Amino acid sequence: MSYFPLGRPARMAVMASGRGSNLEALLKAFPHDNPLGHIVLVISDRREALALQKAVEAQIEAEYVPWPKERGREQFERVAGQLLRDHRIDLVLLAGFMRLLSPGFVQAWEGRILNIHPSLLPQFPGLHAQRQALEAGVSETGCTVHFVDAGMDTGPIVLQRRVPVLPGDTEETLAARILEQEHLAYPEAVRRVLKGEI
């Protein structure tokens, strides 16, 4: 089932746990007057996440939603889900969001939730994808934008960009080179989804 194109600008939300560099790339690609859509809400599970600060600087609503130790996912999803409904969100973008959402939450947003991952999925899912690539001795890796399903980095692939693994690469140097491609791949994937090309 495809929800797009909508015939109007899409209202998008970004969920992020960290510094928000992919959020920045998305904000540049989808300014408020973009006819395809724009970001109206940023949610983070970490109060100190730079992504929230970047949202405030861009005059976008920024919401810290805690993920408590006890029943954390359930509480986070209840609050985040209400925020998404209140803001009439059409498309949810996970950008460095370091939590696994429940099958029920994902199913409610099926076809309307994307993630970016620093490997050429299905290779190297989960955490430390760059380390996994180096340990496997592959000659190239990259990044993948995919629809989110109930698995760990297993949803249908929208777009991939490739990056060579160079002699002497460390996790840090490889991650930096992949991140450059992520900043190109994510906006392009969102454009394709919003245009109904996927």
* Residues identified as active-site: 117
Residue type, 66: P
Residue 119 labeled ligand binder? no
Burial 180-192 (b: 16+ CB within 10 A, else e): ebbbebbbebbbe
192 in a labelled binding site: no
Paired tokens of 89: 């969100």
User: Residue 59, class by beta-carbon neighbours within 10 Å (0-12 exposed, 13-18 middle, 19+ buried)?
Assistant: exposed
**Inter-residue contact 112 to 196 (CB < 8 Å):** no
> Per the annotation, does 101 bind a ligand?
yes
The answer to whether 17 is annotated as binding is: no
User: Closest Cα to residue 75, out of 88, 63, 65, 85?
Assistant: 65
Q: Is 34 annotated as a binding residue?
A: no
- Residue 102, annotated as binding a ligand: no
Asked whether residue 22 is marked as a ligand-binding residue, the answer is yes
Q: Is 21 marked as a binding-site residue?
A: yes
Binding residues: 20-22, 73, 98-101, 115
Binding residues for (6R)-10-formyltetrahydrofolate: 73, 98-101, 115
